Amino acid sequence: MSIETGLLGKKLGMTQVFNPNGFLVGVTAIEVGPCVVVQKKTVEKDGYTALQLGFDDKKESRATRPERGHFNKAGTAPKRMLKEFRVSEEVAAKYEVGQTIGVDVLMTGDFVDVTGTSIGKGFSGVVKKYGFHGGKATHGVHECYRHGGSLGQNMTPARVMKGKKMAGQLGNKKITVQNVEVMRIFPEDNLVFVRGPIPGGKNSYLILNAAIKKS
């Protein structure tokens, strides 16, 4: 099988495994699902077709009254993560509200696109953020060794151009890594090992989709 709806997961950390050629490779351990179909969107009612999936239970007391009502309709406990995936009508017909989707839709050797939020590192200068070289440390340079230099023109267009690399927030951005290979699957533990590093810290949430460049 292959991913038709997308999957939700949680990053657990990194380890190492041997590939079929006997080489040791780094892998990221991801807890994938079980994802519950919380809602089905239809063309007749909503104008498009989609499946809303929920992942990772949370306490009833932590959910608002509207959230509890929404999840009660699906017959499931409140979830920490909700994500909607656009699908075709043929794919939507295969699933019902309350149905569970897990790692059984994956196979070793599959390729997926993984989306996560990178670790936030706060306010950073241009040297750390973009690798600027900085200014000289001699010959009259005064307290601007790690500055970014001139920001633009003083007359035309007399403004800083949009997209100029400047100091600011580093990390905490949505990042998608494409063509990530599935190395190991452990269905009994809802666990998947994928090759290489994945954005985000430990216990951060991830979204898995079929690799768009491999389809």
Pairing status of strand 123-124 against strand 174-186: unpaired
pLDDT digits (tens, 9 = 90+) for 18-42: 988 889 999 999 999 799 999 999 9
- How far CA 184 is from CA of 107, 119, 152, 196, in Å, comes to 8, 25, 51, 13
The pLDDT of residue 13 is: 94
Residue 181 forms beta bridges with which residues?
Answer: 111
Q: Please give the radius of gyration of the chain, using alpha carbons only, rounded to the nearest integer.
A: 23
Task: Tell me if residue 77 falls in helix, strand or coil.
Answer: coil
Q: What is the mean pLDDT of the chain?
A: 90
Q: Does domain 7-120+174-210 have CATH number 2.40.30.10?
A: yes
CB 114 within 8 A of CB 182: no
The pLDDT of residue 137 is: 83
pLDDT digits (tens, 9 = 90+) for 39-82: 999 999 989 999 999 998 888 888 899 989 988 888 888 999 99
Q: Does domain 121-170 have CATH number 3.40.1480.10?
A: no
CB 166 within 8 A of CB 150: no
pLDDT digits (tens, 9 = 90+) for 201-210: 999 999 999 8
pLDDT digits (tens, 9 = 90+) for 172-199: 999 999 999 999 999 899 999 999 999 9
Q: What is the mean pLDDT of residues 151-177?
A: 90
pLDDT digits (tens, 9 = 90+) for 90-144: 888 888 888 898 888 888 889 999 999 999 999 999 999 999 998 888 888 888 8
pTM over 0.95, yes/no: no
The rounded Cα 141 to chain-centroid distance in angstroms is 43
What residue spans define the domains of the chain? 7-120+174-210, 121-170
The pLDDT of residue 55 is: 92
Pairing status of strand 205-210 against strand 7-18: antiparallel
